[in-house]
């Protein structure tokens, strides 16, 4: 396989990973958490959130890993590491930051700390726990969408600097 085809395949895998990952985050943030916060019984809402997001977590871990690996592979193919030193590639910095945040949450913080913390807090005040989780998801979704928009525009030559 020639370099152009390899790069195109890596880019396709990367974009599919981003669609599944950030699309899932968008669904959880805009649909699931919004509906659960309006649920008449906060405890039921918390229990449903834990069940559904637990199922999504495996998908998120897999596609986040695939997205990161394909992204770093593209940087390797393009020998693009110096782009981290250039301000007009701000979107690459943001994509990497978003990936690092999600990777840390999905692989380290959530299984070791956040799951227990959320469960304890939700038993005391389910409505407030869901509200905080919703706010955090909105922040991460906003950063993710900014990274996607910047990457699409930046990879087609648009710059802010």
> Which CA distances in Å does 103 have to 18, 57, 60, 98?
13, 11, 9, 8
CA atoms within 13 Å, Cβ hemisphere of 107: 11
Q: Is 41 helix (H, G, I), strand (E, B) or coil?
A: coil
Report if residue 142 sits inside a domain: yes
Report if residue 121 sits inside a domain: yes
Single pTM value for the model: 0.91
Note down the domain range covering 147.
3-155
Neighbours of 114 (CB within 10 A): 15
Report if residue 49 sits inside a domain: yes
Predicted pLDDT at 161: 63
Report if residue 122 sits inside a domain: yes
Total number of domains in the chain: 1
Report if residue 160 sits inside a domain: no
Report if residue 161 sits inside a domain: no
Predicted pLDDT at 54: 81
Report if residue 15 sits inside a domain: yes
| Token reading at 98 | 């978003």
* Mean pLDDT, contiguous 10-residue spans, the chain (161 residues): 93 97 95 86 84 88 97 96 94 97 96 90 88 95 96 86 63
């Amino acid at each position: 396989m020639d370099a152009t085809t390899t790069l195109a395949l890596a880019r396709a895998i990367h974009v599919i990973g981003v669609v599944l990952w950030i699309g899932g985050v968008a669904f959880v943030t805009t649909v699931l958490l919004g509906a659960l916060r309006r649920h008449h019984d906060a405890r039921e809402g918390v229990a449903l959130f834990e069940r559904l997001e637990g199922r999504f977590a495996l998908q998120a871990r897999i596609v986040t890993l695939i997205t990161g690996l394909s992204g770093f592979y593209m940087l390797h193919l393009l020998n693009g590491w110096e782009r981290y030193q250039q301000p007009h590639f701000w979107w690459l910095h943001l994509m990497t930051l978003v990936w690092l945040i999600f990777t840390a949450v999905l692989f380290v913080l959530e299984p070791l700390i956040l799951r227990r913390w959320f469960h304890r807090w939700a038993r005391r005040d389910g409505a407030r726990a869901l509200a905080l989780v919703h706010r955090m998801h909105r922040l991460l979704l906003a950063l993710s969408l900014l990274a996607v928009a910047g990457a699409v525009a930046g990879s087609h030559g648009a710059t802010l600097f």
